[in-house]
């Protein structure tokens, strides 16, 4: 058998456990050949492989018993929206977070940020052959790593309109069980701000900016019907009392001609039944926010809003 001889077909070509290779009859010298790399003890990667998080998750949870991928790594795998800076840092460092039950001890191995926690069986899920902490447990972990708005966006994503990952009740249960974890005060503060039905993290960010400006909180993704009961539209955010719809337009709305046309038709339908439509983009949520806030404030005043209750 030469160094160039292929490995058994049932081993993952990009990476595998050393124990799996031995069980398949692969000799030790073959595992030390120049075509394989050792990212951490007990693991092998094919040279030139750019391992993704799922591969690393399968390998590390396979080589270490009774553990689960956690923190930022778990959030990316679910996936939950994270600030680009957090995503970039996680990718560039090439580290994955792994949590073990508190009584077992923290993992200490190359490529891993180890944690200990009182995980229960319901706090760990198995997805695509690897274990990771539940969305609720992951969200509480993120409270020690993210700011308020980013934590709201992650929580809103868990309660999304399509394929929600969790519920407020389930998140609350984990918050109650982890009174001393880092970031728990922020988690408690943010939990009442989470809303069902949010379609994007930018919508969450827009809602937080509106609240911070002292303006009334808009409703999330509620359908609008005309006087005859016919469906008209489901804006991202809205003030039904004042007949004002707020739409966040992502990049695909601008670059997709068909989507752009649908957006125009949608807004025309709303205006046709007496609604005001205000549109926001990345620019309006950034340096353009002061002007956007003023525009929204004026629209509310024109429709009868008299300011916050004293």
| Alpha helices, H only, 191-277 | 201-212, 251-255, 257-272
C-alpha of 54 from chain center: 15
Closest CA to 119 of 185, 55, 174, 50: 174
pLDDT for res 252: 55
C-alpha of 160 from chain center: 11
Residues 6+ apart with CB under 8 A from 78: 132, 135, 138, 165
Per the DSSP assignment, residues forming a β-bridge with 124 are 133
Distance CA 28, CA 26 (A): 7
Distance CA 53, CA 78 (A): 11
pLDDT for res 257: 63
Phi and psi dihedrals of 10, rounded to 5?
A: -80, -10
pLDDT for res 1: 41
User: In this structure, is the dihedral angle defined by the CA atoms of residues 174, 177, 182 and 185, taken in order, positive or negative?
Assistant: positive
Per the DSSP assignment, residues forming a β-bridge with 45 are 15, 37
pLDDT for res 256: 59
Residues 6+ apart with CB under 8 A from 112: 40, 60, 95, 96, 97, 98
pLDDT in tens, the chain (310 residues): 444 467 888 888 889 999 999 999 998 888 988 889 998 999 999 988 887 889 999 999 999 888 999 999 999 999 999 998 988 887 777 789 999 987 788 888 888 999 999 999 999 999 999 999 999 999 999 999 999 999 999 999 999 988 899 999 999 999 999 999 999 999 999 999 999 999 899 999 999 999 999 999 999 989 999 999 999 999 999 999 999 999 998 765 555 566 667 778 888 899 999 999 999 999 999 999 999 999 999 999 999 999 876 5
The residue assigned the tokens 């010298």 is 29
Domains of the chain and CATH, by start: 1-49 (no CATH), 55-193 (no CATH), 201-302 (3.40.960.10)
């Amino acid at each position: 058998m030469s160094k160039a001889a292929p490995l058994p077909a049932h081993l993952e070509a990009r990476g595998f456990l050393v124990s799996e290779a031995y069980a398949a009859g692969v000799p030790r010298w073959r595992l030390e050949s120049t075509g394989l790399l050792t990212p951490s003890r007990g693991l092998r990667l094919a040279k030139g492989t750019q391992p993704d998080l799922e591969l690393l998750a399968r390998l590390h949870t396979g080589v270490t018993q009774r553990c689960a991928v956690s923190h930022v790594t778990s959030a990316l795998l679910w996936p939950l929206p994270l600030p680009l800076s957090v995503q970039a840092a996680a990718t560039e460092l090439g580290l994955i977070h792994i949590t073990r039950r508190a009584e077992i001890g923290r993992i200490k191995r190359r490529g891993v940020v180890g944690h200990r926690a009182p995980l229960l069986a319901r706090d760990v899920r198995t997805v695509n052959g690897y274990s990771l902490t539940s969305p609720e447990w992951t969200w509480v972990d993120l409270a020690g790593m993210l700011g308020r708005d980013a934590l709201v966006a992650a929580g809103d994503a868990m309660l999304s309109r399509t394929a929600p990952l969790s519920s407020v009740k389930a998140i609350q249960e984990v918050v109650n069980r982890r009174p001393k974890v880092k970031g728990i005060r922020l988690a408690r503060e943010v939990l009442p701000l989470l809303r069902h039905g949010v379609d994007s993290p930018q919508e969450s960010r827009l809602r937080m900016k509106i609240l911070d400006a002292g303006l009334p909180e808009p409703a999330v993704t509620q359908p609008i019907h005309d006087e005859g009961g016919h469906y008209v539209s489901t804006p991202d955010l809205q003030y039904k009392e004042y007949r004002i719809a707020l739409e966040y337009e992502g990049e695909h709305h601008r670059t997709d001609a068909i989507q752009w046309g649908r957006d125009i038709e949608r807004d025309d339908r709303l205006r046709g039944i007496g609604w005001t439509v205000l549109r926001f983009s990345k620019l309006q949520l950034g340096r353009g926010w002061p002007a956007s806030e003023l525009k929204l404030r004026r629209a509310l005043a024109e429709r009868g809003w008299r300011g916050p209750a004293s």
